[in-house]
Amino acid sequence: MPIFFLFPLITGGALLLATLSGETLPELSVLSNPFIIAVGFIYIFFLGGPFQEEWGWRGYALDRLQARLNALASSLMLGVLWGAWHLPLFFIKGTIQSQTPIWGFMILILCGTILFTWLYNNTGGSILATMLFHAMNNLSFFIFPTLATALGGLYLLILNIVFVVAILIIYGPKTLVRETIK
């Protein structure tokens, strides 16, 4: 269960680092209302992408890619497709994507895809786990408006890269699953 809090930890951590670097802390009033967070989670889960997208990204495409490529290469290929899927959102005012440089978003998507593959492979291919992980990722931006600060996005990129590098070092790029010692 704690793994599902990875994205709030990264997003909140990036906002904290931006604030410690002198940025003005954005409004965090949603934190004081657990009901809004719960409703937001349910809305995001069913209507904000996770429930619809994960059947395709992890449930269909990832297994087929990993049958041919290692987990890292599969993640990167899927990440490019996932990023392209979100490109129209860059032209819709008010979306997170419209407030983000495309290059930054693509780095976040690639990092996120590696994290999703790591979770998927370590849960025996659980689509539900990736749906919950995806929902927590999206909810994190609702709770912590990291991209509302100039440095928030930069710290968000750095923290995502740090977590991905750590996972690659610990688990290896082949399967992103820790090999058991026999």
Q: What's the CA dihedral at 111, 99, 92, 76 to 10 degrees?
A: -10
**What pLDDT was estimated at residue 54?**
97
Q: What is the pLDDT along the chain (182 residues), one digit of tens a residue?
A: 588 899 999 999 999 999 999 999 888 888 899 999 999 999 999 998 999 999 999 999 999 999 999 999 999 999 999 999 999 999 999 888 888 899 999 999 999 999 999 999 999 999 999 999 999 999 998 999 888 888 999 999 999 999 999 999 999 999 999 876 55
DSSP 116-166: HHHHHHHTTS-HHHHHHHHHHHHHHHHHS-GGGSTTHHHHHHHHHHHHHHH
- 72 closest CA partner among 38, 121, 144: 121
Q: What is the pTM of this model?
A: 0.93
- CA angle at residue 173 from 168 to 174, to 5 degrees? 150
- What is the model's pLDDT at position 147? 82
Q: How much is the pLDDT for 131?
A: 97
H helices present in the chain, as ranges: 6-20, 34-47, 50-56, 63-66, 71-86, 102-122, 127-143, 152-171
- Residue written as token pair 């819709």: 92
DSSP state of 57: I
- Residue in the block written with tokens 């904290």: 16
Q: Which residues contact 62 (CB under 8 A, 6 or more apart)?
A: 74, 78, 117, 120
From 136, 119, 127, select the one nearest 38 (Cα to Cα): 136
Q: What is the pLDDT of residue 182?
A: 57
